[in-house]
């Protein structure tokens, strides 16, 4: 199955998510956080750099738990503001 290309908005959200997770990781090593979340360091590196722009929900939930970040906070950081 071939995935459709990401839209510019999806790529931007992926980059914003990556930056937010990287900041939440702080001084902890990428290996330590990835292992605690049950993934490889390379997968976490790809998420943090935006190369995996749409990671699975359970992947993000595991990272949020390990990093002590609420899913609401993550959503607020990567959801575009609705004009109103």
Residue 78 domain flag:
no
Q: Is the pLDDT of residue 5 over 90?
A: no
Question: 45: domain range?
Answer: 9-73
Overall domain count for the chain: 1
pLDDT at 83: 58
The SS3 assignment for 75 reads helix
Residue 1 domain flag:
no
CATH number of the domain that 32 lies in? 1.10.260.40
Q: What residue has token string 């900041």?
A: 23
pLDDT at 2: 82
Q: What is the pLDDT of residues 12-24, one digit of tens each?
A: 999 999 999 999 9
Residue 3 domain flag:
no
Q: What is the pLDDT of residues 35-66, one digit of tens each?
A: 999 999 999 999 999 999 899 999 999 999 99
Residue 54 domain flag:
yes
Residue 2 domain flag:
no
Residue 83 domain flag:
no
């Amino acid at each position: 199955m071939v995935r459709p290309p990401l839209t510019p908005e999806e790529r931007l959200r992926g980059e914003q998510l990556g930056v937010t997770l990287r900041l939440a990781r702080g001084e902890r090593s990428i290996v330590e956080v990835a292992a605690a979340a049950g993934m490889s360091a390379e997968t976490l590196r790809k998420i943090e750099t935006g190369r995996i722009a749409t990671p699975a929900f359970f992947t993000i939930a595991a990272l949020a738990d390990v990093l002590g970040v609420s899913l609401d906070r993550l959503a607020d950081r990567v959801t575009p503001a609705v004009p109103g």
